[in-house]
Structure 1
Amino acid sequence: MTDKIAIVTGGSRGIGRAAALKLGAAGYTVVVNYAANAAAADGAVDAIAAQGGKAVAIRGDVAKEADILALFAAADKLGPLKVLVNNAGIMDRQSRLDEMSAGRLTRLFDINILGAFLCAREAVKRMSRKHGGSGGSIVNLGSAASVLGAPGLGVEYAASKGAMDVLTIGLGREVAAEGIRVNAVRPGIIDTEIHDSSGIPGRVKMMREHIPMKREGTADEVADAILWLCSDQSSYVTGSIIPVAGGRC
């Protein structure tokens, strides 16, 4: 048992992996959640161990309530939960709304919205002073798409990230007096694998001219903001959304 447990959903790759490594280096025992890629999750755990940290990989689909309950139950055995990074999310192939099926919408909303809400619910049950907890930090992963709308690319993805904005603001105020801080980061164009899902080869490079800083961001740069929001350095910050987008948002 330890006194600093952090759950990172979708923690095996991209921003989630970078956040997991930084939390591990900061002394948290990290629960690296993953949906399917066990090798990537084990790689993240090994990387945390290599830098002297502690971590475990736990499989679970955040679109399924039973999997979420099992994930949090497994984390309970390690110690009291102090951090949830609500990172798991998907982006589908480039499409207009009038080309989207109900199945596509349901799948994306189940993962990006329902999963995040259920994970936040379980975190509040454990962190809130109302429930006997000692407080904690929830960091949601938003996107500049929630501001820009992602027209012609994936308005359903943008809408799901808009839901993260509302969850952050509303829940942040709801549990502020219970010792829980709820914040979000809003990444812009970040060099991660998620862009491959859009089916647009080289999308990151193509977007550079549209970014005021003329470059894409890195997963580590987003993870630095996440770590700050989990730390005592942001002790008076809640219900806030931090853009990490090179000025494009």
Structure 2
Amino acid sequence: MAAQDFTLNGLFGVEGLHVLITGAGTGIGLYMAKGFAANGAIVHIVGRRQTKLDEAKELLETLKAPGAEIHTICADVSDRQVITRLASGLTRLDVLINCAGIVLPDPPCNHLTPLPELQAALLASPSSTWSDTFAVNVESPFFLSVSVMHLLAASPTHGRIINISSIGSTMSDPATHQPAYQASKAALNHLTRLLASKFRETGIRVNAISPGYFPSQMNDPTNPKSMLARAKELVPLKRGGEEEDAAGTAIWLASRAGSYVHGEVIPLAGGRNWA
């Protein structure tokens, strides 16, 4: 039996790990990339826009610890052929973070909308909204995870998959009007458990993080009507999520400190998931 190491680096160390993060050009994916880069990981950031990736890499280079590396991969992970090419270009992977996600606008309505208008608004949700949302938020994590499972299984520290869900996956707030997005994130929660079950003999741990209100393209902090701007009113901890909250939770799940967590969906919402 290996000697126990209860030091911070022994428990939470991610130095030298090869980490791939989709949707890492901005928002929560970038926050997590910052945490891994600052702690010595080899970080591969994936996104659809090379300009955003270049900006993110420039920032990460200023934060990275000695030994850390930053690589960019411009790819649309909603395309299975692109996923196949992405996976074939990797030679080692210890941690996969499926963070890429989209939310598309639907006609606004809530529980107080009169029935005829409510029905009309819900029926006006385009079929493309559902197919595109599920392609990115559910299919992409599934096919990318399966495409790299051989690399994760070969990881010397055992591979880890972290899916980024949302409190919208479990909250049924009638004031929101994002049915396709919320349904897709609920599907991602179950996909997390499904993959954990399928991969159990490989040593790969699969978990999800379910964030609340973090600054992102989906949650503009400058918009006074955004959930993030109303966090003090809505969240029991009286604030929105911060970059360190996202990075710290991902590092915990990726490190030895989280090695006994498997098939779980971790709320990261300041208590908003139950309040």
TM-score calculated relative to the size of structure 2:
0.80
- 2:230 pairs, out of 184, 199, 206, with 206
1:28-39 mapped onto 2 (5 Å cutoff): 28-36=41-49, 38-39=50-51
Task: Provide the residue aligned with 1:8 in structure 2.
Answer: 21
State the alpha-carbon separation in 2 of the partners of residues 97 and 144 from structure 1.
Answer: 21
Identity of aligned residues (%): 29
Question: Unaligned 5+ residue runs, structure 1?
Answer: none
Which one-letter code corresponds to 1:218 in the other structure?
E
State the alpha-carbon separation in 2 of the partners of residues 157 and 150 from structure 1.
Answer: 13
Task: Provide the residue aligned with 2:60 in structure 1.
Answer: 48
Which one-letter code corresponds to 2:28 in the other structure?
I
State the alpha-carbon separation in 2 of the partners of residues 119 and 220 from structure 1.
Answer: 26
- 1:168 pairs, out of 188, 192, 196, with 192
- Number of paired residues? 239
> Larger helix proportion, structure 1 or 2?
1
Q: CA deviation at 1:94?
A: 4.4
Q: CA deviation at 1:116?
A: 1.0
State the alpha-carbon separation in 1 of the partners of residues 167 and 58 from structure 2.
Answer: 31
- 2:171 pairs, out of 125, 130, 148, with 148
1:116-127 mapped onto 2 (5 Å cutoff): 116-127=141-152
Given that residues 192 and 218 in structure 1 are in contact (C-alpha distance below 8 angstroms), is that contact kept between their aligned partners in structure 2? no
- 1:106 pairs, out of 99, 119, 131, with 131
Task: Provide the residue aligned with 1:60 in structure 2.
Answer: 75
The secondary structure found in structure 1 opposite 2:77 is coil
- CA 1:101/1:228 → structure 2, altered by over 3 Å: closer, same or farther? same
Point out 4+ residue stretches in structure 1 off by more than 6 angstroms. Answer: none
Task: Compare CA radii of gyration and give the structure with the larger one.
Answer: 2
Q: CA deviation at 1:201?
A: 4.7
Given that residues 18 and 41 in structure 2 are in contact (C-alpha distance below 8 angstroms), is that contact kept between their aligned partners in structure 1? yes
State the alpha-carbon separation in 1 of the partners of residues 24 and 103 from structure 2.
Answer: 16
Which one-letter code corresponds to 1:214 in the other structure?
K
Task: Provide the residue aligned with 2:97 in structure 1.
Answer: 85
The secondary structure found in structure 2 opposite 1:138 is strand
Which one-letter code corresponds to 2:254 in the other structure?
C
- CA 1:150/1:31 → structure 2, altered by over 3 Å: closer, same or farther? farther
Which one-letter code corresponds to 2:95 in the other structure?
V
Aligned-residue RMSD, C-alpha: 2.1
- CA 1:66/1:3 → structure 2, altered by over 3 Å: closer, same or farther? farther
Given that residues 129 and 180 in structure 2 are in contact (C-alpha distance below 8 angstroms), is that contact kept between their aligned partners in structure 1? no
- 1:219 pairs, out of 243, 255, 260, with 243
Given that residues 36 and 43 in structure 2 are in contact (C-alpha distance below 8 angstroms), is that contact kept between their aligned partners in structure 1? yes
- CA 1:107/1:150 → structure 2, altered by over 3 Å: closer, same or farther? farther
TM-score calculated relative to the size of structure 1:
0.88
Cα deviation code 1:52-110 (max 9, x no counterpart): 4211111111110111122222232xxx1100000000111243532211111111111
Question: Unaligned 5+ residue runs, structure 2?
Answer: 1-14, 108-120
Task: Provide the residue aligned with 1:236 in structure 2.
Answer: 260
State the alpha-carbon separation in 2 of the partners of residues 94 and 101 from structure 1.
Answer: 8
State the alpha-carbon separation in 2 of the partners of residues 19 and 68 from structure 1.
Answer: 21
